[in-house]
Amino acid sequence: MLPDKCSVMEEGKQCVNPPEFIVSIVADEDEYMVGVTCNKHKEIVSGKIGILQNEGKMREGKILFSPVKAVGTDCIHGDSSDFVQIDMKSSKN
């Protein structure tokens, strides 16, 4: 599962745009996901990660932006036996 909003905060407010890219760092044979971003903030995120890498606060490596792909499935089916009824009335004994 991914966040439903871009990871960037502007002036203390969370960006309301949906994520368009998964941001990761590729180092040696490994890849580390560091966040998600919208297209509007892609360059800002890249610059910030570069600064953090130069300061030694984030692992060195290539910054990778992978497009988020919507995936649908029809393999999950439910029927009435999958639902649970909860009686909200308080019982008096």
Paired tokens of 41: 């903030």
CB 23 within 8 A of CB 33: yes
- Whether the CB-CB separation of 40 and 57 falls below 8 Å is answered with no
Q: What is the pLDDT of residues 30-44, one digit of tens each?
A: 999 999 999 999 999
The token pair that represents 43 in the structure block: 């360059």
Instruction: Provide the percentage of residues in the chain whose pLDDT is more than 70.
Output: 75
Work out the pLDDT band at 53, boundaries 50, 70, 90: very high
More confident residue, 64 or 69: 64
Q: Which residue has the higher pLDDT, 78 or 71?
A: 71
pLDDT attached to residue 76:
61
